[in-house]
Structure 1
């Protein structure tokens, strides 16, 4: 059974940067903690979860214009003075090193201009599932819980390997997990709940006074987000006066937020050779990178993990 693993690359290298000591440096003293942590995470994921295919998904646009146009507050608090994403100074130079190492190892990497890595993962997961492949989405971003689907007749499974507590303590998110944690019955219901609840870390205000439990209760009563909005507009619905007022006050937000929260499943992501390689794509380039950056042990762990999949 083919199994595609999709890496939320930025999620992994940000977590590696903050979780691995910056005392890990290249021979010239340059920090390589994010590089080492990213590679070690990939080696662990390959060893434990054994995908047949893998893609490192990239943020070609971390704050797409179509989402900002819909909701100007989207990630606005993360914009740096130069207009890019606010990130630690020591992390930026390590990202191109990760790019070069992925290429030398032969591990597929892909982004899509105008779209986030979330959209790349959603599109690739949708394509893979249509081909009959199970999918593991590796991320620390709860927004991607909306992609979860259990296997059924003629339908493969899409699950999230949630690394909120670290790669070695990840949680396997399927529909049973979503029901137990959030009392929602589908990935789409999770996305609707996220719209109502909001997410300050992404600049989504949500509906004032509506938390997770209230949001789930509304969705169970009225079916989905559209049903909740219709109930707010219907004087005959059994919404309390307070809930109706809150929902009506947030009407503009509720009209815009779904475009921001829901991933794009048909982004123009290019096709890539995503088969897990049996050998490095460029041995000489890999050797030069290992020597330049002092990452031999981490690269060796990835190579051992790849060899174990043959």
Structure 2
């Protein structure tokens, strides 16, 4: 199980009230919500391995150099001298909770993974692509990750939690193909190509003018893929509708770089915190006990302990 860390703790933060506080008054709503989410996922899906995937760079330069508008509207503070990382706009009371979550994960013994200069999506793409033994479940509220679904060499599914865990959808190639109208034999890649064509305002991707979800899916299905579609643009004998041809010609510069921006990497150099097998006991019992007392998260840790089948 690969967790999109930031996606899940952002959702926990906004789902639970900030009046959930530690004994010293600090909000811990994201901490409690994130721990409870992991406990629920363990109980629901019974994974034997789990990795919390991290954004070491939420707005990588290899993407912004190609499309400067990529996530630009989320920048709270541009990179300054001595750093090449933009500061993301994050609620003031969430930022310290991310460090708390990291401390809890380390004390529990749950693995984390990040890659310098890459987003969590790239870590997920890399770990999912490299897996040849166990089926993979990716948990995220980000539809962009639907591109990783596959049946080979192991099943990779996305548990999409955009509407909450209670309404989560398990998405594989068949489900992605049926829901978005893309070819089932290459549903993951086709979804990413559809996203390139339609664009995504939430990520600052312009897309191709006049092409939305349905038209994008129809074009990808009709021509077999984005490469074939682009070839059809320059082929006067193709049956590409004139309006679409004109829009694709106008968007040629965007299309030439969009794959690098939209497709997740599968070759990121990940830095892993340790073994991804579920811990049979806390990695640091003393530190975990201190965090329970300091943060007032005893109930959440008890639920997590039960989900991990620890003696509690």
TM-score between both structures, scaled by the size of structure 1? 0.94
Distance 1:286 1:39 in 2: 13
| Consecutive aligned runs of 4 or more in structure 1 exceeding 3 Å deviation | none
CA contact (8 A) 1:47 1:308 kept: no
CA contact (8 A) 1:32 1:94 kept: yes
- Tell whether 2:282 aligns with 1:280: yes
State the Cα distance separating 1:238 from its structure 2 match.
Answer: 1.5
1:252-294 deviation line (CA, Å, top 9, x unaligned): 1111111011010111113541000011000000010111111
State the Cα distance separating 1:162 from its structure 2 match.
Answer: 0.5
* CA-atom RMSD in angstroms: 1.3
State the Cα distance separating 1:179 from its structure 2 match.
Answer: 1.9
Q: Which SS does the other structure have where 1:70 is aligned?
A: coil
State the Cα distance separating 1:308 from its structure 2 match.
Answer: 6.9
State the Cα distance separating 1:228 from its structure 2 match.
Answer: 1.1
Q: Which SS does the other structure have where 1:137 is aligned?
A: strand
> Where does residue 309 of structure 2 map in the other structure?
307
Q: Which SS does the other structure have where 1:138 is aligned?
A: strand
State the Cα distance separating 1:168 from its structure 2 match.
Answer: 2.5
Most deviating of 49-58 and 142-151: 142-151
Distance 2:97 2:251 in 1: 41
> Where does residue 157 of structure 1 map in the other structure?
155
Most deviating of 257-266 and 74-83: 74-83
> Where does residue 41 of structure 2 map in the other structure?
45
- Tell whether 2:114 aligns with 1:111: yes
1:46-195 aligned at under 5 Å gives the runs 46-81=42-77, 83-128=86-131, 130=132, 132-150=133-151, 155-184=153-182, 185=184, 186-195=187-196
Most deviating of 248-257 and 97-106: 248-257
> Where does residue 257 of structure 1 map in the other structure?
258
Distance 1:264 1:281 in 2: 31
1:200-228 deviation line (CA, Å, top 9, x unaligned): 10000110110111011111221111111
Distance 1:96 1:209 in 2: 43
> Where does residue 297 of structure 2 map in the other structure?
295
Task: List runs of 5+ in structure 1 lacking aligned partners.
Answer: none
Distance 1:142 1:61 in 2: 19
Distance 2:180 2:14 in 1: 28
Alignment match of 1:6 (pick from 2, 6, 29): 2
Distance 2:32 2:258 in 1: 37
Distance 1:264 1:113 in 2: 12
CA contact (8 A) 2:181 2:218 kept: no
Distance 1:65 1:179 in 2: 32
CA contact (8 A) 2:126 2:267 kept: yes
Task: List runs of 5+ in structure 2 lacking aligned partners.
Answer: 79-85
> Where does residue 214 of structure 1 map in the other structure?
215
> Where does residue 82 of structure 2 map in the other structure?
none
State the Cα distance separating 1:235 from its structure 2 match.
Answer: 2.3
Distance 1:233 1:67 in 2: 27
State the Cα distance separating 1:234 from its structure 2 match.
Answer: 2.0
CA contact (8 A) 2:55 2:120 kept: yes
- Tell whether 2:246 aligns with 1:248: no
